[in-house]
Structure 1
Amino acid sequence: MLRRLAAVLGLALASVAAPGAPEPVRFHTPEASAEAHAQYRGLLARDERGDAAGLLAMIRTPHAVWLGDEGPARTEAEARTVVRAAARQGTVPVLVLYDIPGRDCSGYSGGGAGTTAEYRAWIDAVARGVGGHRALLVLEPDAVALLPSDCGQDDAAGARTAARYAELRYAVDALEPLAGAAVYLDAGHPGWHTVNTLTPRLIEAGAGRATGFAVNVSNYHTDDASTWFGRLLASCLAYAAGGGDPAACPNQKWSRDTARAWLAEHAAAIPAARTKHFVTDSSRNGRGPWTPPAGAYADPQDWCNPPGRGAGARPTADTGDPLHDARLWIKTPGESDGRCLRGTAGPEDPERRTVDPAAGEWFPEQAVELVRLATPTFPQATE
């Protein structure tokens, strides 16, 4: 699988690099938003040059392009524009596909296609736009971890959840065969579902036919926690593919020594071709997850614009882990998670004492936090 990915994307990963191998992968950097550039100019005008330099470095770091909420024609055109621009630069674009019906359980990032038929037409448009170009595709954040049945939006027969799985399988089958594409189904993060719960969901969603899965998208868990979770999930998927019961797999709550002993006994002999790979999101995990003050909020929403976070390790395909294909910036640092209320009537975010921007909009205060608290630091960010 790793060699297949290297061949598809032209990656010179640590475990396959050799004399005459291609240059290490460079991921694509899309143009930053007008709001981000305006904040940069404002910082310079106020002579806040350290923050300005850090912000410029952050927005110039390779990160994903999110596609969603546009019709098929515009989505096809945007996808084609991105992959062609990346091809001219010799970079690999990361596209996040985010248009599943019932997206985000109608929460802060609600929206998406109206019907399964509309979604299939949208996926077909993405496929036409990508064509034979190289692209790393992250498929539908939260779609597997937050099913219609998880948020009371299903009927008694489970029709909407069944439709969700069918939609994801359609997307995998339409996109994975593209000559330059590698598809990673979103798998939530280590603070959410256990490996045992998530494995059957990913199987039902078509993970067996995808390149792999994505961990920690738009979240704040550390690289260590995310990669350990990814390794456990990859091993459980392989164990289940060979007829094992996912309920028997070690999960992220086990002690690592106990989990390693299980892996040595049950996973060591699994063929490499049966083991899925994964990518992780390090865009905002430089300080790890936020621990809300005890008892302060009815719903702390620790995932929603948490204070005191920093940008994380920079994107790379040289992870040193044969299953960990790339560390990426999937979420765009500086974009809001939503108008966080934390169980209050609002409209202010009680932790930040401000009205947070809507999901996906630029959040200047958070952007500066991410710069100042980045781990590792940005050049001149603290001058």
Structure 2
Amino acid sequence: PCPTSPGTPAPGAVLVAYNVPHRDCGQHSAGGAADRAAYGEWIDAFASAIGESKAVVVLEPDAVPHMVDGCTPAEYHGERSTLISGAVERLKRQPGVKVYLDAGNPAWIEDPEKIAGPLRRAGIAQADGFSLNVSNFQTDTATRAYGKALSERLDGAHYVVDTSRNGNGPLGAAGQDAWCNPPGRALGTPPTTRTGDPLLDAYLWIKRPGESDGSCRGGPSAGTWWPEYALGLARNTKG
């Protein structure tokens, strides 16, 4: 479960469903289910395990943005949209589950118009909204502006923001690998549902702020706990 600010209503466990076929285009977090049938079985088991509990599920980080930026080959787009929309439907059968379909971050798909259609095809109308900045470092200000613009293109959809590592914003002038274990970053806004914005349901620490992004800048493999990086995030945090 994600820690929350004092006095903040807990949203339940914060879970990430991350197993779509052809995950991460074969990059640092490559893998995923072997095929359509395997993914269906996996998401059914995932949902069943939640049972009657309250949970926020961030669904398939990067999966929709990778269809927009061309990283995922076009021949997989139709199947991926079907699998994700099916996952939304299955997860929403659990009475305590809220589902947010990942929409990347404002520095990735810069024009929200380009991702609105793919999100619709992936079933966002049946979800509780979309997630932004998962495992990234964009500022709260930039992310909220993007969230508002994307929401306007999705009939007022709500959203959540990952603030686990964005306290110092993104690393400047770092090229294409600015997202991968950048130095000098800090913890961001503590998790809370008190956002002051009716569209923004919560700030959450979706990425555990000590997990490596991959074997870059001396880090271990993606998803591995890296205590030195976690300590750096804590030391760089203001206040």
TM bin, normalised by shorter chain, reads over 0.9
Residue 22 of structure 2 is matched in structure 1 by 102
Q: Mark the runs of 5 or more structure 2 residues left unpaired by the alignment.
A: 1-6
Q: How many aligned positions are there?
A: 232
- Choose the corresponding residue for 1:235, options 152, 159, 175: 152
* C-alpha separation in 1, matches of 2:35 and 2:69: 17
What residue in structure 2 maps to residue 258 of structure 1? none
| Contact 1:105–1:148, Cα closer than 8 Å, also in 2 | no
Q: For residues 190 and 367 of structure 1, do their structure 2 counterparts lie closer, same or farther at Cα, with a shift above 3 Å needed?
A: same
Q: Give, in whole Å, the separation in 2 of the partners of 1:148 and 1:125.
A: 29
Show the counterpart of 1:131.
Answer: 51
Partner of 2:62: 142
Q: Percent identity?
A: 45
CA deviation digits over 1:331-378, x for unaligned, max 9? 0001110012xxxxxxxx3xxxxx321101122321121011113x3x
> Which amino acid letter does the alignment assign opposite residue 105 of structure 1?
C
- 2:157 paired residue number: 276
Amino acid at match of 2:153: C
Of 129, 132, 136 in structure 2, the residue corresponding to residue 215 of structure 1 is 132
Of Structure 1 and Structure 2, which has the larger fraction of its residues in helix?
1
Q: Check whether the contact 1:148–1:161 (CA below 8 A) recurs between aligned residues.
A: no
Paired residue type of 1:361: T
- Structure 1 residue 148, shift from structure 2 partner: 8.9
Contiguous gaps of at least 5 residues in structure 1: 1-22, 28-91, 239-274, 294-298, 341-348, 350-354, 378-383
Report the Cα distance in structure 1 between the residues aligned to 2:68 and 2:188, rounded to whole angstroms.
Answer: 32
Q: Which residue of 1 aligns with 2:10?
A: 26
1:364 is the counterpart of 2:224: no
Residue of structure 1 in register with 2:32 after alignment: 112
1:224 maps onto 2:141 in alignment = yes
CA distance in 2, matches of 1:367, 1:114: 32
CA contact (8 A) 2:163 2:188 kept: yes
Structure 2 partner of 1:178: 94
Q: Are the counterparts in 2 of residues 102 and 148 from structure 1 also a CA contact under 8 Å?
A: no
Q: CA deviation at 1:97?
A: 0.4
> Normalised by the size of structure 1, how large is the TM-score?
0.59
Conserved 8 A contact 1:315-1:328:
yes
> How far does residue 130 in structure 1 lie from its aligned partner after superposition?
1.1
CA distance in 2, matches of 1:116, 1:149: 22
